[in-house]
Copies of this chain bind each other. A is one copy, B any other.
Amino acid sequence: MSKRVVFKPYDLTVEVPEGENLLRIAVQAGVHINASCGGEGVCGKCRILLEKGKLDSHRSPLLSDEEWSLGYRQACQSRVLSDVVVRIPPESLLDRRTLTRRRGGIGLRPSPIDLSALRAEGLYNPAFKKRYVELASPTLGDNLNDLARLEQGLARQHAVESLTLDFFLLRKLARVMRQDDFRVTATLDFSRRRYRTPFLLNVEAGNTTQRHFAIAVDIGTTTVWVQLLDLANGAILGQAADYNAQMSYGDDVISRIVFCQKEQGLQKLQRSAVATINQVMHRLLKAHNLSVEEISHITVAGNTTMTHLFYGIDPKYIRLSPYIPTAGSIPLVRALDLGLEVPEHVFIFCVSSVSSYVGGDIVSGVLASGIYKDPKLTLYIDIGTNGEIVIGNQAWLACAACSAGPAFEGGGIKFGMRASAGAIEDVIINPETFEPTLITIDMVKPKGIAGSGLINLLAAMMEADLVSPNGKLREDLDTPRIRLGDSGREYVLVFGSETQSGQDLTISEADIDNLMRAKGAMFAGYLTLLESVGLKLQDLEQVILAGAFGNFINIENSIAIGLLPDLPRDRFQFVGNASLQGASLLAFSRDLLEEERRVANMMTNFELSETPGYMNQYIAALFLPHTQIELFPTVTERLQGVKG
């Protein structure tokens, strides 16, 4: 249930979920409280006065008895339990101008898979189905072989006319059929992509039709996500994740491809991915008290390099011009053959990729988000080391990968870091004092800046007029926070007294330059795609942000720095881990499964480096927000509002 928070003296009202942290609310509402300890509660700067309502506040020694009884609380130590009115004390007050900011974030949550919508569309129809049959026991006068008896039963009782199957199943067929006196449940794969007839996947004794499970996996370069699916009842039972164990051989796809060229390199990477999936999958199964024997199949999505590595296919030529993957679609594979710890009846279906850098994760996302069947012109964007872009609608799809570089993942940024404890997520900067208010993941002392935090920081610096449109730090400001560091001019975000390492946490002009290149590559990418089909930014009716990173970015700030197009905010939508969702959807829908390759083929790949106009667009985008400021009307307005 949402609660209302009123910030006095601004009379700014925001709706927040019950239990939300008050510092986070303030930062996201643009209310400066000068907190720079990330929310750990040790600086005591984020004091507010509770005037009305109920907060769940932890009391630290930084508040005296008298202050506590007067209603003073530390915002970072308080959670909202009811509608509240809180007052920002004078020492934290600043000019109201900053309140012109409109920020996305709170309340905008990724949409999970909507199974009821799938049902409504008639797409809920798993390719894998269980069929229970009761067969007559054989006699001398009726001595069909076991398989033929089962086929006859399936034909008569379920109109399944002929079958394909795998010989491994024959090794247990006689035993299973006799276990419950020729009453058996057959698991059938009705997807027609490979075989002429339904494929008999498994046979179990008795009636097990109500217990039918599958696994969906998203193999990310960094993180492996696994969902446990209930095919009998059409539900996602749960999900779990862990870092991809390949991380110890390199952070990004390029370093892993390089590692593959070493002796046993490919094998090590293959086994690492499989080990991670095994570990996460079995943890998930255990948490749901399920036996792995009850799993029917596995769907997998991943980028092209991850897919190659998972199957043990050398990705060597993905890295070398002209960037050739071995295959777009990988045939069904027995999971055991790859080392997965599952029964031998389990096969793996992998989402097709389009090219070396537009992989199955993107195709899966396109399937999950439904843009391939949507009449609206849509921009689908997955921000990461290689930002992938898809533009189109039900009639056509164009896609490209932008070599955005690892800036949004913290790479190439001195204090950049992954989104883990101590990473700064959000920042606002007082435009008069240049003091930041910031919040970290897990609200511990700052250690570095997360990717989403970098976008927010850059926008805050623009807003506080600390940085000029060409990415240079202002030289004329009277603040010790701007100084000349080892690698050029820099802004001190947190002084060492409040960081985990004791070292000053800064952002330099070189860091800003890297961020501009990253956002510029993305912007130039989708603008180039649009122009190559004769369209403009304004034609976009929908912008879908995908990827784990996409979940956390602030739309308003992303537009401010020129990463996202300046379009009406209601056209933006988060889909979260769409790659994982797509993998799950394929398990729930035979139609999608059969359409998957068609959708991948529908996606025309553009090599941006080969596309006319791209380099000019890229150079034009190396500005904050852009050299053509008319492309970003609301940003101009916002910055002017701040500057008054």
State in angstroms the CA–CA spacing of A326 and B142 once bound together: 14
Query: A195 to chain B: which residues have CB within 8 Å?
Result: 194-196
Q: A140 in the interface, Cβ–Cβ < 8 Å?
A: yes
**CB contact between A148 and one of B146, B194, B327 (< 8 Å): that residue:** B327
A326 close to B143 (CB less than 8 A): no
Question: Smallest distance from the beta carbon of A351 to chain B beta carbons, Å?
Answer: 14
Chain B: CB-nearest residue to A140: B322
Considering the complex, give the chain B residue whose CB is closest to the CB of A173: B326
Query: B148, B174, B192, B327: which contacts A145 (Cβ < 8 A)?
Result: B327
Give the Cβ gap from A118 to chain B, nearest Cβ, in Å: 27
The 8 A CB mask of A107-149 against B (1 = contact, 0 = none) is 0000000000000000000000000000000111111111110
Query: What separation, in Å, do the CA atoms of A332 and B164 have in the docked complex?
Result: 10
Residues of B contacting A143 in the complex (Cβ-Cβ under 8 angstroms): 322-324, 355-356, 605, 607
A328 at the interface (CB under 8 A from B): yes
B328 touches A145 (CB 8 A): yes
Q: Which residues of B contact A166 (CB under 8 A)?
A: 331
* A175-B314, A607-B140 known; A167+B322 contact, CB < 8 A: no
Evaluate whether A328 and B609 lie within 8 angstroms (CB atoms) in the complex, with A139-B322, A311-B170 already known. Answer: no
**Residue among A164, A195, A322 with most chain B CB within 10 A:** A322
Which residue of A164, A311, A313, A605 has the most chain B CB atoms within 10 A of its CB atom? A313
A138 cross-chain contacts in B, Cβ below 8 A: 322, 324
Q: Are B167 and A333 interface neighbours, CB within 8 A?
A: yes
Cross-chain contact B174 with A324 (CB below 8 angstroms)? yes
Indicate if the CB atoms of B145 and A325 lie closer than 8 Å: yes
Contacts of A192 in B (CB 8 A): 196
What CA separation (Å) do A107 and B145 show in the bound complex? 42
Residues of B within 8 A of A147 (CB): 326-329
Q: Which of B148, B167, B316 contacts A174 (CB 8 A)?
A: B316
Tell me the A474-500 residues at the B interface (CB within 8 Å). Answer: none
Interface string of A162-194 (1 = CB under 8 A from B): 001111001101110000000000000000101
Contacts of A331 in B (CB 8 A): 164-167
- Please tell me if the beta carbons of A313 and B139 are within 8 angstroms of each other in the complex: no
The interface residues of chain B lying within 8 Å CB-to-CB of A327 are 145-148, 170, 173
Chain B residues within 8 Å of A171, by CB: 311-314
The answer to the question of A210 belonging to the interface, with a C-beta cut-off of 8 Å to chain B, is no
Q: Mark A435-471, 1 if CB is under 8 A from B, else 0.
A: 0000000000000000000000000000000000000
**Cβ contacts under 8 Å, A311 to chain B:** 167, 170-171
Per a CB cutoff under 8 Å, which of B141, B194, B356 touches A196?
A: B194
- Min CB distance, A232 to chain B, in Å? 27
Q: Which of A164, A316, A325, A329 has the most CB of B within 10 A?
A: A325
A432 within 8 A of B: no
A326 touches B607 (CB 8 A): no
CA distance A144 to B311 in the complex (A): 20
> Does A570 touch B at the CB level, under 8 Å?
no
**Separation of A398 and B165 alpha carbons in the complex (Å):** 28
User: Which residue on B lies nearest to A327, using beta carbons?
Assistant: B147
A547-567, CB under 8 A of B: which get 1 and which 0?
A: 000000000000000000000
Quick check: is A317 within 8 A (CB to CB) of the other chain? yes
Instruction: Answer whether residue A233 sits at the interface, using C-beta atoms and an 8 A cutoff.
Output: no
**Chain B residues with Cβ under 8 A from A165's Cβ?**
331
Task: Indicate with 1 or 0, residue by residue over A489-518, a CB within 8 angstroms of chain B CB atoms.
Answer: 000000000000000000000000000000
Cβ–Cβ contact A317 & B140, under 8 A: no
> In the complex, which of the residues B175, B314, B329, B609 contacts A140, with contact meaning CB atoms closer than 8 Å?
B609
Q: How far is the CA of A322 from the CA of B328 in the complex (A)?
A: 50
Given contacts A167-B331, A196-B196, A331-B167, contact A314 B139 (CB under 8 A): no
A321 within 8 Å of B (CB atoms):
yes
A65 on the interface (CB 8 Å rule)?
A: no
Complex CA gap A37/B310 in Å reads 70
Shortest Cβ distance from A605 into B: residue: B143
* Binary contact track A1-20/B, C-beta < 8 Å → 1, others 0: 00000000000000000000
Does A330 belong to the interface (CB within 8 Å)? Answer: yes
B196 close to A325 (CB less than 8 A): no
Q: A174-B317, A316-B174 are in contact. Are A194 and B164 (CB under 8 A)?
A: yes
Q: Which residues of B contact A170 (CB under 8 A)?
A: 311, 313, 326-327, 330
- Which single residue of chain B is at the shortest CB-CB distance from A610? B140
Complex Cα distance, B146 from A332, in Å, reads: 18
Q: How far is the CA of A146 from the CA of B320 in the complex (A)?
A: 14
Max count, chain B CB within 10 A of own CB: residue among A174, A194, A313, A333:
A174
A146 pairs with B325, CB closer than 8 A? yes
Interface residues of A in 574-629 (CB under 8 A from B): 605, 607, 609-610
The 5 closest A-B pairs by CB, nearest first: A147-B327, A140-B322, A143-B322, A145-B325, A167-B333
A138-B322, A147-B326 known; 11 new pairs, CB 8 Å cut-off, are A140-B610, A143-B322, A145-B324, A145-B327, A146-B324, A146-B325, A147-B329, A165-B331, A166-B331, A167-B331, A174-B314
28 A-B pairs (CB sep. < 8 Å):
A138-B324, A139-B322, A140-B321, A140-B323, A140-B610, A143-B322, A143-B605, A144-B324, A145-B355, A146-B324, A147-B329, A164-B194, A165-B331, A167-B331, A167-B332, A170-B311, A170-B327, A171-B312, A171-B314, A173-B313, A174-B313, A174-B317, A174-B324, A174-B326, A175-B314, A195-B195, A195-B196, A196-B196
Spell out A's residues near B (CB within 8 Å): 138-148, 164-167, 170-171, 173-175, 192, 194-196, 311-314, 316-317, 321-333, 355-356, 605, 607, 609-610
